[in-house]
């Protein structure tokens, strides 16, 4: 019963749409109507600004890390820990508090991995930063980091539940970035910090 409650709580925590809320409060913007339409930190950066994007990133990572961290503190099994992690990411993808229209799950994925496998999470964060700095594409950085996740989990952690979690999260990120992959292929993908027009006609970076 405890494990079921923890998984359900992880989904609810993951459902908190930080990007949507922060963009509305700080910029008066409905993220679903500007830029990529995504409620994650990259679109917040484009539509509102760096401060709001940083808060969104911390919130989305934090909710995943908090859900998994609680499970670890309570001593749940690796399998239950993986289910908690997946529930938190599912909440971000399909938030009950956001009309089931969520983000792509990259920041929340990073948060759950940092809490479940700290060394793997740190390596993924470093890889994301390196790719993002080199090519300025958030989506490309996410795809490269997520592709490396199962390999790093196997090399560094090795637990079957964590390997399953990593493989599943990679597939989730891949599927949620199908349109980004097409735009990357065509050379039309927006770069980090690219200016967009908000619903009130203002141009922001």
91-136 pLDDT, tens per residue? 999 999 988 999 999 999 999 999 999 999 999 999 999 999 999 9
- Whole-number pLDDT of residue 204: 43
Q: Output b/e per residue, 104-134; b: 16+ Cβ within 10 A.
A: bbbbbbbbbbbbbbeebbebbeebbeebbee
| pLDDT grade for 200, boundaries at 50, 70 and 90 | very low
- Whole-number pLDDT of residue 157: 97
Structure tokens at 33: 């109507």
User: Across residues 42-69, what is the average pLDDT?
Assistant: 95
Do the Cβ atoms of 121 and 113 come closer than 8 Å?
yes
163-193 pLDDT, tens per residue? 999 999 999 999 999 999 999 999 999 888 7
- Whole-number pLDDT of residue 24: 93
Sign of CA dihedral 35, 39, 44, 45: negative
- Whole-number pLDDT of residue 108: 98
| pLDDT grade for 203, boundaries at 50, 70 and 90 | very low
Residue with tokens 């990529």: 36
**Residue 205 in this model has a pLDDT that exceeds 70:** no
Average pLDDT in the chain: 93
| pLDDT grade for 195, boundaries at 50, 70 and 90 | low
Do the Cβ atoms of 59 and 81 come closer than 8 Å?
no
């Amino acid at each position: 019963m405890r494990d079921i409650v923890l998984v359900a709580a992880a989904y609810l925590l993951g459902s908190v749409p930080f990007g949507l809320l922060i963009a509305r409060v700080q910029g008066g913007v409905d993220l679903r109507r500007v830029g990529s339409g995504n409620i994650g930190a990259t679109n917040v950066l484009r539509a509102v600004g760096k401060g709001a994007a940083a808060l969104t990133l911390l919130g989305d990572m934090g909710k995943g890390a908090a859900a998994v961290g609680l499970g670890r503190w309570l001593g749940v099994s690796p399998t239950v820990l993986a289910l908690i992690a997946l529930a938190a990411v599912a909440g971000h993808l399909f938030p009950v508090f956001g009309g089931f229209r969520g983000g792509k799950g990259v920041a929340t994925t990073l948060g759950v991995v940092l809490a479940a496998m700290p060394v793997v999470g740190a390596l993924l964060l470093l890889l994301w930063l390196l790719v993002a700095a080199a090519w300025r594409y958030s989506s490309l950085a996410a795809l490269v980091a997520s592709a490396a996740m199962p390999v790093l989990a196997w090399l560094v952690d090795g637990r079957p539940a964590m390997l399953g979690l990593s493989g599943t999260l990679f597939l989730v990120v891949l599927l949620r970035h199908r349109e980004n992959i097409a735009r990357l292929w065509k050379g039309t993908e927006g770069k980090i910090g690219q200016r967009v027009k908000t619903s009130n006609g203002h141009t922001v970076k």
